Each structure stands twice: as structure tokens, then as C-alpha cells.
């Protein structure tokens, strides 16, 4: 196993101490898969924090790395990231790379969730009477990714679950990373970015969103009270760039 890929169950020892004595850890029967442990989709198993510079503009890269340098402070305060941008610009790659980095460096457990797939899993579990267990896991995990928030099929039932999940993590100061194609109303007039000292500063050169139609605002999906909480529990960053998926097809 490489550095940072030790089994979280036994710490790389190959055995676990129980009340009945030592037993072999399941990891000895197969290589520990960090990406599966963090629930990262296979397409992003190669995500690497050292490679995001090559896919992002200099300003976005600076903001991401500034956050990571001050992560201990942000973790204590329960502050994550809100990555805003068009489809294909690399938001999911960034958050999966961050999840791997945080586990490798700090042994902090994270979980990746796609909000569209999550609705399906919750519905399946609801029919069996066990969806609340999954929601509880997502509420308590130290770091949670809510990927593509706003693009899910949002029934009243599912909206209530997501709103409750975000509120619980807000109250417990749990770090949450969100990616979205929608824009929060609090971003109008400028985007706040982290300084090196871990203090939010206003970047007046950021994109202004005052001319956006109402349906493109995240508030229209979840309500201003939820978006307000996201504004307090995350640092918003606009991810700029071209659609990397189309780039592979066209060039």
C-alpha cells in the first residue's frame, strides 16, 4: 500500500483486536480501495489534488489551495466550499480530489454523494423502511460532498430531506462541500473568497449575478433560508473554464 492508503479498519496492521482476541482484517484479502471507501465514482478515481492546476484558471486554483492551507481552521469552524459553475468545468473532479487529499493527509473520513443518485437510493430504502439510517450517516460523516445540488428531481419529500440534512450539518458544524450549476442570491455584488489567514474577503472582481433569471438561483430550489445557511457554512468559489467533456470530443 502507498502512503495514505492504509486500511481505516486496522491502520495497515492486517489484524483487528476485538473482545475475543485478534482477527484478520478483511483488507488482507484485497487491496484497500480508498476511492470506494469515500464513495467516489469510478470515473474520478484518478482525481489528484496536484493536477487541478492544469485544468483551472489561476484565480480558481489559488482559492482552492488557499482553502486547503487553512483547512484545520475551516474544519474547526465547519466551513466547506460551494463550487459554482457551468457543467463540465471540473467541479466534481475538484471535490473528489479534495476528499482523497483530506483522508490521506488528516485521516478525515468523507463521503461523496450525487444528489440525483441519492434520491433514488433514499426512495429504494424508504420502501424497505430504512432510509433514515442513510440520512443519519450523511448527517454525521465528518466531510460530505453534495454534488450537482439543484439538478435533482426535487419532490416535496426529497426537498425536506435535503433541507433537513443541510440544516443538521450546519448546526453540528460539519464540513460540507457543494457543487452546483445554480447561483446563490448572496453572491450578488461579489463573491467571498478565503484569505491565507483563513478570513473571508470580498473579491469585487468576481462575476456579478444580479441579472440572472430567478430560475437560475439556488434560492428558487431550496428557499432563501437554506441558501443563507450554505452561505455561512461554505466559501463560494466560481469555477471558470470550458467544458472539459466537450473539449475531449471536439479537440
What confidence score (pLDDT) does residue 59 get?
87
Q: Are 56 and 239 in contact (CB under 8 A)?
A: yes
What confidence score (pLDDT) does residue 246 get?
40
Question: How many residues are given for the chain?
Answer: 251
**CATH 3.40.50.300 is right for the domain spanning 34-250:** yes
**pLDDT, block means (10 residues), the chain with 251 residues:** 53 69 61 87 94 84 93 96 91 96 94 94 83 91 96 91 96 97 76 47 44 80 92 92 50 37
What confidence score (pLDDT) does residue 178 get?
97
C-alpha distances (whole Å) from 74 to each of 15, 68, 142 are 34, 9, 12
Inter-helix orientation angle 156-171/224-233, to 10°: 30
Strand ranges across the sheet with 234-238: 110-114, 143-147, 175-180, 80-84, 234-238
Domain spans of the chain, in order of start: 1-32, 34-250
What confidence score (pLDDT) does residue 9 get?
65
What confidence score (pLDDT) does residue 196 get?
41
Q: Which cell numbers hold the place of 19? A: 473482545
Q: Please tell me the distance from the alpha carbon of residue 160 to that of residue 165, in angstroms, as a whole number.
A: 8
pTM: 0.79
What confidence score (pLDDT) does residue 153 get?
87
Q: Please tell me the distance from the alpha carbon of residue 215 to that of residue 155, in angstroms, as a whole number.
A: 16
Amino acid at each position: 500500500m502507498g502512503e495514505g492508503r492504509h486500511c481505516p479498519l486496522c491502520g495497515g496492521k492486517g489484524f483487528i483486536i476485538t473482545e475475543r482476541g485478534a482477527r484478520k482484517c478483511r483488507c488482507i484479502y484485497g487491496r484497500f480501495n480508498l476511492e470506494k471507501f469515500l464513495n467516489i465514482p469510478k470515473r474520478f478515481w484518478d482525481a489528484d489534488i496536484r493536477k487541478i492546476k492544469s485544468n483551472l484558471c489561476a484565480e480558481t486554483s489559488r482559492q482552492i489551495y488557499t482553502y486547503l492551507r487553512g483547512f484545520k481552521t475551516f474544519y474547526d469552524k465547519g466551513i466547506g466550499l460551494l463550487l459554482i459553475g457551468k457543467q463540465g468545468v471540473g467541479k466534481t473532479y475538484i471535490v473528489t480530489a479534495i476528499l482523497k487529499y483530506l483522508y490521506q493527509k488528516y485521516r478525515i473520513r468523507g463521503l461523496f454523494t450525487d444528489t440525483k443518485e441519492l434520491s433514488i437510493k433514499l426512495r429504494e430504502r424508504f420502501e424497505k423502511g430504512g432510509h433514515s439510517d442513510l440520512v443519519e450517516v450523511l448527517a454525521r460523516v465528518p466531510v460530505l460532498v453534495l454534488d450537482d445540488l439543484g439538478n435533482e428531481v426535487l419532490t416535496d419529500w426529497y426537498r425536506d430531506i435535503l433541507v433537513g440534512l443541510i440544516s443538521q450539518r450546519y448546526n453540528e458544524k460539519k464540513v460540507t462541500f457543494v457543487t452546483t450549476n445554480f447561483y446563490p442570491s448572496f453572491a450578488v455584488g461579489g463573491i467571498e473568497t478565503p484569505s491565507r489567514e483563513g478570513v473571508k474577503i470580498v473579491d469585487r472582481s468576481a462575476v456579478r449575478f444580479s441579472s440572472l433569471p430567478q430560475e437560475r438561483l439556488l434560492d428558487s430550489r431550496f428557499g432563501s433560508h437554506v441558501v443563507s445557511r450554505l452561505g455561512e457554512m461554505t466559501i463560494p468559489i466560481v469555477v471558470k473554464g470550458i467544458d472539459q467533456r466537450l473539449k475531449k470530443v471536439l479537440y
